[in-house]
Amino acid sequence: MLYEHLGATPRVHPDAVVAPTAVISGDVEIGADCQILHGAVITSEGGPIVLGENVIVMENAIIRAAATAPVHIGDHTLIGPGASISGATVGAEVFLATGTRVFNGARIGDRAEVRINAVVHLRTVLPDDAVVPIGWVAVGEPVEILPPHEHDKIWAAQRELDFPGYVFGVDRETPDVMVQLTERYGRALSRHRDDKPVPGT
C-alpha cells in the first residue's frame, strides 16, 4: 500500500514489484526492477529515500529516513528479511543479511557484506568490499569490526558517536533523557495521523 505523507507521494517505477502487504510512505523513489516483498516498510519521515535498480527488500525489512538523515540504496543490493536501515547510505551490490541493523549516518561501500544479525552503527563508514561477520558490530570512522562480547570497546566508540544527540537532538546526560526523547520523537511520528492512501494501490 502506498501512502502520501507530508505532501509527498511515493514514486514506483512501472517495472518494480511491490507486494500488497508492503507499506511505502512519503518521499520514496523505487527504481526499475526492484522487488519489495510482503511486510516490508519503507517510510520517509521527512527525508527522501531512493532505491536504485534491481534492489530487493525482503519480508518485514524496514527502511526509514528522517529530515536530517536521508536513505540511498545502490543498484543490485539485497536487504534480507527483518533487516533495518535508518538514515544511511548503502552502496551498490551490497548484501545486508537477515536481521542486520544499519543506523543513522552510516555509509556502506560497494560490494560490502553485513552478515546475519550484524550491526553497522551510527555514523560508521564501512569501506568497499568489507565484511561484518555474523552478529558482529562495525563502529566508527575509521571502522572497527568487533565481536559482540567486546562490549567495552564497542561502547567506548559508540559513546563518542552520541546516539541520542545525533538522532534525537537530546543530551545523553539529561536526567529525563527518555522522557524528552519519546515526547519529541512521538510528536514527529504523530504527523502520520494525516497520511492518505494513494488511490489505486
Concatenated DSSP letters for the chain? -EEEBTTB--EE-TT-EE-TT-EEESSEEE-TT-EE-TT-EEEEESS-EEE-TT-EE-TT-EEEEETTB-EEE-TT-EE-TT-EEES-EE-TT-EE-TT-EE-TT-EE-TT-EE-TT-EE-TT-EEPTT-EE-TT-EEETTTTEEE-TT-HHHHHHHHHHH-HHHHHH---TT-TTHHHHHHHHHHHHHGGGGG-EEPTT-
- Residue with more model confidence, 135 or 196: 135
**Mean pLDDT over residues 141-155, rounded?**
91
Would you state the cell numbers that stand for residue 72, as one nine-digit string?
540511498
Domains defined for the chain, CATH in brackets: 2-197 (2.160.10.10)
Nearest to 87 by CA among 142, 147, 163, 150: 163
- For residue 13, pLDDT beyond 90: yes
- For residue 185, pLDDT beyond 90: no
- Residue with more model confidence, 201 or 138: 138
Integer angstrom CA distances of residue 137 from 115, 140, 146, 158, 168: 10, 10, 5, 10, 22
- For residue 184, pLDDT beyond 90: no
Q: Which amino acid is at 156?
A: A
- Would you give the end-to-end CA distance of the chain in angstroms? 5
Return mean pLDDT, the chain.
Answer: 93
At residue 23, the pLDDT reads 97
pLDDT band at 144 (very low <50, low <70, confident <90, very high): very high
Q: What percent of the chain has pLDDT over 70?
A: 100
